[in-house]
Amino acid sequence: MHHQKNITMIKSIKKIAKQIPYSWKIYEFMLISWDSACRIISGKPKRFCPVCQKTSLYFFPFFINGKIMDKRCLNCYSQGRHRLSYIFLKEKTDFFAGNAKKVLHIAPEPCFQPLFEKQYGENYITADLFTPTVKVKMDIMNIQCADETFDIIYCSHVLEHVSDDRKAMSEFFRVLKKGGWAILNVPVLKSDKTHDDPSITDPKERLIFYGQDDHVRAYGPDYADRLRDAGFSVDVVHAKDMMSDYDMERMELQYNLACLDTFYCIKS
C-alpha cells in the first residue's frame, strides 16, 4: 500500500518535471552536481544499500500517515530496518552459508524475497494471512505446521499488527527446531513498557496511542521479556554493536530510532 503511494508520487514528480522549463532543469542539475561535489570534497558518504549493493546520492522519503518515517533505497526499495537486518543476517548468522535449512518468512519483503528464494529454493517458505503471492496462507496465531518444522524464522514488523502476539510467539517457538533461531523484530518505542489496550480499535486513536493507525500495540523495552516468556533465549543487538556511525549514516539506519534493535531468538 505504502509502496504504491510512493510509486504514484514518483510518477507525479516526473509529470511535473516535464512541465519545468529546460533552463530550470539545467539549474537543478547544477545544484545536484554541486551538492555531489561538496559531499566528495567534505568526505561525507554517499548512500549505500547493502541489500542490492547499489550506491546513490539520496534515499527516497518513505511516508506513513503523512510523516516521513524512513528512507527507501532508490533501487530495491529497502528501508532502514531491511538494510540493518541484511547486515545482521550476513555478519552475525549462518543464513547465507548454505541452503539445507528450512526457512519460514512471514510477510516477505520484496527486497528480500528474491535473494532468499535464490539461497534456499524449495526450502524457503513464504507466508502471510492476506498477501496472495506467498506460498502458504498462514495465521501466525495458529500455524498449521508440525512441531519443530523450521530451522529459521524471519518475521519483521508483523507482531505489532497481531491481536494476540504472545500466542504468535508461542507458535513460532513450537514450529522452530531445537537449536534453530528466529529474527522477530518490531518497532520499540522509548516508553517505559509495552502499551496494549484491546479496547482501542479506532484507527485515529491507534495513531495517537501506538504511532500508526494499523498497529494494535506499542512495544517498549520489555518486548524481549515477552519473547523469553515464550521460551526463547533472546539476544538484543543494537545497530551500533555491528557498525560504525559512518556506516549507519551511509545506510541511513539512524533515521528511524524505533527500529535499530535486532531480536535474535534461539530455541535451545
For the residues of 184-228, what is the DSSP string, one character each?
Answer: EE--B-SSSS-B--TT---HHHHHHHHSSTT-S-BB-TTHHHHHH
- The percent of residues above 70 in pLDDT, for the chain, comes to 81
Residue with cell 519443530: 148
| Co-location of 139 and 6 in the same domain | no
Pair 184, 169: CB distance under 8 Å: yes
Structural domain range at position 130: 79-266
Q: What CATH number does residue 184 fall under?
A: 3.40.50.150
| Average pLDDT over every residue of 63-72 | 74
pLDDT at 81 over 90: yes
The DSSP bridge partners found for residue 174 are none
| Co-location of 38 and 95 in the same domain | no
Work out the pLDDT band at 78, boundaries 50, 70, 90. very high
Q: Which residues contact 241 (CB under 8 A, 6 or more apart)?
A: none
57 located within any domain = no
C-alpha pair distances (Å), 249 with each of 47, 95, 165, 246: 8, 25, 32, 5
| Co-location of 186 and 260 in the same domain | yes
16-49, pLDDT tens digit by residue? 445 545 554 454 455 455 555 555 555 565 899 9
Domain count, the chain: 2
User: Number of C-alpha atoms within 13 angstroms, CB side, residue 17?
Assistant: 11
Q: Give this prediction's pTM.
A: 0.81
67 located within any domain = no
| Co-location of 100 and 11 in the same domain | no
Q: What is the pLDDT of residue 48?
A: 94
| Co-location of 158 and 205 in the same domain | yes
**Distance (Å, whole) CA 229 – CA 40:** 49
255 located within any domain = yes
| Co-location of 164 and 256 in the same domain | yes
pLDDT at 130 over 60: yes
82-100, pLDDT tens digit by residue? 999 999 999 999 999 977 8
| Average pLDDT over every residue of 183-203 | 90
Exposure string over 51-77, b if 16+ CB within 10 A, otherwise e: bbeeeeeebbebeeeeeebbbbbbebb
